């Protein structure tokens, strides 16, 4: 006789088996990345006295940093080896020589103990000087060894107070060592001089600078940078777009950086062979104060100026990065020797500098170019984000159907037993 417990156990076993089957592709994908060296990230936090200032969403800068660290530590990928270093956290005196040595590793770079790291951050209190240069030198040492991505994320609210050890020169020295270390900087409510210094540090190593005025912005940006370290290593290539398509640099698949002046446009060229698809995206960042309401436009046009496709996005002052992208599939040709089509890419942004803000150099621009096999008509759905997910949808529908049948059978059996009794 089939008992209620046995039937329920059968349903659970069936669903568990289906769930295990669905999990297999993910497991296989995880195995593919098992041989990649673990990425390393060190968060370098300014704990100088100015971090007591209450100008971030009604709270102190230190409170905003602690909240960001708590949320980022909770979301850090398991494969990331993360450490935390402080500057200006321990010495309260006025001796410059001592104050400029005040940098310490709060949590060592390695497998993350989330509770231990969060407890260490909770003990911090704004204290002393701002030795950014010495802290960067020590952080570079902390990240030595291993072949994975290495990244320093510096969070500060003021200029280095330990000149003439210029932190920008320190960053250039780190870059000159060729160890593949990137420094990203975040400025908490920065003034112009702080913004210039932090931008210079980031530029020296191919990193990014972000101006932060709200807690959510800080949390989001630090989280993005930590997760970026877990991605495969891609080294941006510096390029210089032209004022028109004629004479524009010819780009292949890769990641490129450039700068674009206010009120100007940049042109690039990409060759797309028949049967291939061009996928490209662009991000423009505001590394200084800009007026609200801005946007970015990315156009693909022919050599004769006919627009093929475009992508555009806009912002309203609550974000300092605007991104957009486009895709262009080049139909296959009957002739195997058919030449590639030269596609001109035009990048235009509508940022405008706030009053009294420098306009040079231009805003940092990041361009991604990928030329891949064009999808077949049977897989066109991939362009809309489902791709091979149709099989998953079918399995889920089948699972629901089988579970519904079994549940209905169980309900009928229970009613029959109840009537018999």
Same domain, 273 and 196: no
Same domain, 280 and 205: no
297 assigned to some structural domain? yes
Crossing angle (nearest 10°) for helices 132-142 and 192-204: 30
76 assigned to some structural domain? yes
116 assigned to some structural domain? yes
Q: Using the structure block, give the residue that is written with the tokens 């006919």.
A: 306
pLDDT value of residue 154: 95
Q: What is the separation, in whole angstroms, between the first and last Cα of the chain?
A: 16
Domain end residue (candidates: 167, 200, 230): 230
The alpha carbon of 304 is separated from its chain's Cα centroid by a whole number of angstroms, namely: 36
23 assigned to some structural domain? no
pLDDT value of residue 116: 93
Per-10-residue mean pLDDT of the chain, 421 residues long, equals 41 41 39 67 94 92 93 91 94 88 94 93 91 94 84 91 85 83 89 87 85 88 85 75 94 90 93 92 84 90 93 73 86 85 95 84 89 61 41 64 72 66 61
Mean pLDDT of the chain: 81
**DSSP 8-state assignment for residue 242:** B
C-alpha closest to that of 204 among 256, 234, 169, 159: 169
For 38, phi and psi rounded to 5 degrees?
-65, 135
pLDDT value of residue 103: 94
pLDDT value of residue 25: 41
Cβ–Cβ under 8 Å, residues 263 and 246: no
pLDDT value of residue 11: 41
* Distance (Å, whole) CA 290 – CA 310: 25
326 assigned to some structural domain? yes
Q: What is the CATH number of the domain that holds 131?
A: 3.40.50.410
pLDDT value of residue 287: 78
Same domain, 214 and 250: no
pLDDT value of residue 2: 39
pLDDT value of residue 340: 92
* 387 dihedral zone (left: phi>0; alpha: psi -120 to 50; beta): left
267 assigned to some structural domain? yes
Same domain, 280 and 153: no
The residues, any chain, with a CB within 8 Å of residue 208's CB and separated by 6 or more, are 184, 185, 202, 225, 285, 364
Same domain, 247 and 364: yes
Domain end residue (candidates: 208, 230, 252): 230
Same domain, 261 and 224: no
Same domain, 202 and 314: no
Domain membership of residue 101 as a residue range: 40-230
Same domain, 246 and 190: no
The residues, any chain, with a CB within 8 Å of residue 211's CB and separated by 6 or more, are 186, 187, 190, 195, 286, 287, 288, 289, 320
Same domain, 192 and 294: no
389 assigned to some structural domain? no
Same domain, 169 and 259: no
Same domain, 90 and 212: yes
pLDDT value of residue 190: 78
Domain count, the chain: 2
Q: What is the CATH number of the domain that holds 249?
A: 2.60.120.380
pLDDT value of residue 94: 86
C-alpha closest to that of 47 among 113, 98, 114, 104: 104
Same domain, 283 and 329: yes
pTM for the model stands at 0.56
Q: Using the structure block, give the residue that is written with the tokens 């991939």.
A: 382
386 assigned to some structural domain? no
């Amino acid at each position: 006789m089939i008992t209620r417990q046995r039937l329920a156990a059968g349903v659970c076993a069936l669903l568990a088996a289906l769930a295990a089957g669905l999990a297999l592709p993910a497991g296989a994908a995880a195995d593919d990345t098992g041989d990649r060296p673990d990425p390393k990230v060190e968060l370098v936090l300014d704990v100088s006295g100015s971090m007591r200032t209450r100008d971030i969403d009604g709270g102190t800068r230190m409170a905003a940093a602690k909240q960001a660290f708590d949320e980022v530590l909770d979301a850090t990928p398991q494969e990331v080896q993360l450490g935390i270093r402080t500057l200006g956290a321990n010495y309260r005196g006025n001796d410059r020589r001592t104050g400029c040595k005040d940098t310490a590793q709060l949590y060592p770079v390695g497998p993350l103990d989330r509770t231990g790291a969060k407890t260490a951050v909770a003990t911090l209190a704004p204290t002393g000087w701002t030795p950014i240069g010495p802290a960067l030198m020590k952080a570079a040492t902390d990240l030595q060894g291993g072949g994975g991505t290495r990244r320093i994320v510096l969070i500060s609210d003021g200029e280095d107070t330990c000149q003439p050890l210029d932190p920008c020169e320190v960053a250039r020295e780190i870059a000159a060592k060729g160890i593949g270390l990137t420094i990203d900087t975040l400025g908490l409510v920065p003034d112009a001089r702080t913004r210039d210094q932090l931008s210079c540090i980031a530029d020296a190593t191919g990193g990014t600078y972000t101006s932060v005025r709200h807690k959510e912005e800080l949390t989001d940006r630090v989280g993005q940078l930590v997760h970026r370290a877990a991605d495969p290593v891609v080294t941006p290539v510096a390029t210089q777009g032209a004022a028109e398509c004629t004479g524009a640099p010819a780009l292949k698949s890769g990641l490129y950086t450039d700068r674009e002046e206010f009120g100007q446009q940049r042109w690039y060229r990409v060759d797309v062979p028949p049967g291939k698809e061009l996928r490209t995206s662009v991000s423009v960042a505001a590394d200084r104060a800009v007026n609200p309401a801005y946007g970015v436009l990315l156009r693909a046009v022919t050599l004769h100026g006919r627009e093929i496709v475009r992508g555009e996005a806009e912002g309203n002052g609550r974000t300092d990065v605007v991104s957009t992208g486009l895709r262009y599939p080049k139909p296959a040709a009957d002739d195997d020797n058919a030449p590639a089509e030269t596609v001109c890419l035009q990048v235009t942004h509508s940022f405008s500098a706030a009053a009294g803000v420098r306009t040079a150099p231009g805003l940092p621009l990041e361009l991604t170019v990928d030329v891949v096999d064009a999808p077949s008509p049977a897989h066109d759905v991939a362009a809309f984000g489902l791709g091979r997910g149709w099989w998953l949808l079918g399995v889920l529908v089948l699972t629901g159907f089988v579970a519904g049948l079994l549940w209905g059978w169980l309900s009928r059996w229970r009613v029959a037993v109840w009537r018999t009794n």
